[in-house]
Structure formats: structure tokens, C-alpha cells
Structure 1
Amino acid sequence: MHKNKPINKKDQVLTEIFEICQKRNDYVFHNDLVKDISKKVGFGNPFDATKIDNKDKLPQILLDNDFAVIHLGNGKHQFIKGINKVYHNFEPIQETLEWTYTKSLLNEYNSSESNILSVANNQRILHHFLFGKDTEFDSIDITQRPKTYFPHRTKTSFAYNFGKDLYIELNNIQIEIDLTIEFQGIIGVFEGKNGKPESFAVYQIYHPFLYYYKANQLSELKGKIKEIYGVYVVKTIENGITNLKIWAYTFENPLDITSIKFVKSVCYHLKL
């Protein structure tokens, strides 16, 4: 049993939908139901109701019954048993590094997720984390330097396993990739957050991972991608010091979202 938490309107929406699904013994539901319940309880953004980026934000009824929400595409969602299949707890930090930091004009201008990744990229921290180098990339030959690809949204279709018991087909879904870095066939796809989340929704890094895995199987990129990492960057400010905590993951079975595998973690203390 989890400690009871205050209920907000978003929690109310999911709680009512879950109770409806329980009564009819069918845990698949459509956006139409989300809109109806959102209107009923006065929650102004029904499209956000099913988006929960860490398990601590789940409403109490889901925590108590060990259910989480997944997206099925075409306006459909499903409550599935097993919160820890949907969310992954961050591993302990393995290494802490002091990183000499020259503060630029716009570095602290806003605290958005894109700004977090921009600062980490501009400071060569992401290069160092993925490839173990930084200033060595100051080559005139662009093929000898990592390439950065900025945030984009794209529509695609996926089919993959959710463990042994569930097969998911997502048709024409929109995915968001916060940042991509590529160097000599190694790709890192990044998600950024503020604060101190203890967990994250695996699909946030899995869908971008699968997007490039699929490209490596079927497109003009076939066979050219050597490795793909899903990377999570969390910014905290502790005692006036900015820390960037970074975790890298891959998937042992690329077609199973539950096969997430931890690779490494580093905390970078930004030292002025």
C-alpha cells in the first residue's frame, strides 16, 4: 500500500476512467472517454490526462492496484498490470566528475528541457558521456566530429512486445525526439528533465530508440547504425551548484520495451 497522496483533477480523470474499466472488465479506453471525464471534472487539457512521465505521479488508485497507462495509438490507451514494466527506476550514479564550466549568455535564461540539453551539448558534456572525449573533436573534417540533430516530431508506425503477454501495434503515432547525436554510427537519443525524478516512463527513450532501430533495418540507413543508446539527462541545482546527471540505456531485445538494460551513469558538477 502506498502512502496516500493529494488528488488533483488529472488524478480524478484517471481514477474515474480506471473505475469504469474495472466495472466493465475491459481496460482499453478511447480518447472520447478521456474528453468526457475531463469535461465532467473540469480538467482543461484532456490530451495531457494520460501522459505521466514518472510513476510517483500516478493517481493513488493505480498505485494501490499496480496499474499504469500505455498508449495503443489511434486514440486508444490501456491500463496494464505491472507499474514496473512501464516505468524504470534510475540507477545510482556510478561516477561524479568536476566539469569546468564557462557560463554563456543564455545558459540559465530558461529552465526548459530543451535548454538543459542545449547547455549539456554546448559544453561538450554529452560528447564526453557518449564517446569519452571532448576537445579532441575540434577537427576541421566534419566526419571526425559528432553531429547534433535538434528536437523534432515525426509520425511513424511501430509493432513491439510488452513482455511475454502483450503485443502492441501503433499506427501513425507521433513521437518526439528531444535531441540526437551521432558519431561514426553510434547514436544517442536524449530526454531531458528538471528536478529529482526517481523513475521515468520507458517509452520516452524506447520509441526514439526503436525509430532508429527500424531505420537501420529497413531504410537507406540499413546496416549503417552500429549502436543506439537512449540517454536521460536530469538537471538539479544543489547548494548553488548545477549538476547534470546522465544515464544511458539500451534494449537487449530491440522489439521488447521491457528489455531495457542499464549501461552507465555519470554526474557532472558544473564548476565555474
Structure 2
Amino acid sequence: MIRKTGTRPPDRADRRVRAAPAVVLGVLCLALTGCASAPSIDPAHAMARADLGMQAPATTFADFPKAPQDPAPNAETDGVVLHVKQDIAVYETPNGAVFARLPATQLDNPTWVPVIAERGRWAQVLLPSRPNGASGWVRTDGQVERARSPYDVDVDIDARRLRVRKDGAAIGEWVVGVGAPDSPTPRGRTFIMAAIEETVTRFSPIILPLGVHSETFSTYGGGPGTVALHGWPDPSVFGQASSDGCVRVPNDALRLLTTLPLGTLVHLR
């Protein structure tokens, strides 16, 4: 089994996420192959909330082929992230049709998602679901908490290098392992979705699933083919393109990565 452990939520509260019950996730590294509630709710929003239970949850196990695609997959953001405190509706456009619900937890971790655009009380956020680059619009005047992560992670897949930045300045850089030619690491911007303590193979003490999936495997190890950042016991893999899509990092890189807030943006270039 795999058991979630905590990473740090964003700056505003500077709290740590506590350990939670066991979950199972088939990430590609397994098997070795402040905001207050709204004072009022308009009728359309009330109807969306009433229909929320009928919507599929936007998790790493879901697929929303018609979800809006990330309009600028290589762009930076200002680091704003949203904490979903209660399941909320995900819209195709501001005031448009509801196509999913974003749950308050992802793999037993609290849901934090990065904001990639804003329009009044609406925010476009990246989703952890297929297809890669899936996004949606949520209201920011409801059950969400607004914060900012000063960090971002940049993975140069071709150069096989990972850099962690804080407010744009590099605070760590490492040579890493990436996906093999027949199972490449996907490209685009995504985010740190959760942190999981590995208790089966123990090849990495912590696994950091991202909100992105393999384009090679539709399923993997019983899960949905979620790509992750994680450690590896054999350092010869660093600098190599030999994984099933995950990014393999040295131990000191993993130690830093596990301190980053959930929702932190990750560029896979």
C-alpha cells in the first residue's frame, strides 16, 4: 500500500499537511517497469451547487476530453493557488456549463490547484485529470482559500535537469532521470498534486504525484498512469532517459521538493 504524507501548504498559513489514511496510486514509478465564503449566491451558482453530486470528480483517475485546454502551457504564473475546502463546480467558461466537480481532497491530500488566469470572481485552474493540460473555471467567492506559492519547479527534459526556483531565483539544480524514448515524460505545465509515502518497494521514501499523465500508458500498476517526481536508489539513472515517464531525482533534490507547497507549478519543458 501507499500512504500519503504531508507537504507544506502555501505561504499564507505555513502549516504542514498531516499524514492521512492509506491510498493506492498506480504512478509510473511503481513495479520498476485568505478567502471568506460568499455573502450571497446567484441563482445559476445555486443550481450548479445543487447539481454538484451528479458531476464526475476531477481527480487523477478522471478523463474530461472536452475540458478547456491550458491556453499557454509554457507560460509562467504569479504563483496564486487555490485551496478547495469543499467540493466545488468546474465550469467550461465563466458562467458557462458545469462539466465536473473539484473535490476537496486528492489522494487524501487537501486539494490545491494553480491559477493560470483570472476574470473577476472567476479563476481558471489546472486540473489533475486527463487529458494533459485540462483546465476549468471555478468561482473564487465560495469554498476556496487563496494563497501564493513563491516556488516553481522547472524540468528541462532534453537536458535532463531539474531546477527549483523561489520568486524566480534558483535555489537548487540537479541532473535527473526522465522518460525513455518509448515512454517519454509529457511536456507542459502541471503542479504538485499530492505527497505519498511509499511503503511497498521503498525505492523512494516520498512520491510526489503531478497533475499530468503518461501519453504512452492509459493505465499503469493498477492506476491511471500518473506521472510523479520521486527518488531512485541507483544514481546511474540520473542523466538518463530510462524511466516509464516519471522524473527520477537525487535524494537531496527530493528533500527540497517535499517541502514545497501543494499546488506549486511544475514546468515539464
Q: TM tier, shorter chain? A: under 0.3
Per the normalisation by structure 1, the TM-score is: 0.26
| Greater helix proportion | 1
Which structure would you say has the larger RCO, counting Cα contacts within 8 Å and 6 or more residues apart? 2
Which protein is bigger by CA-based radius of gyration?
1
Per the normalisation by structure 2, the TM-score is: 0.26
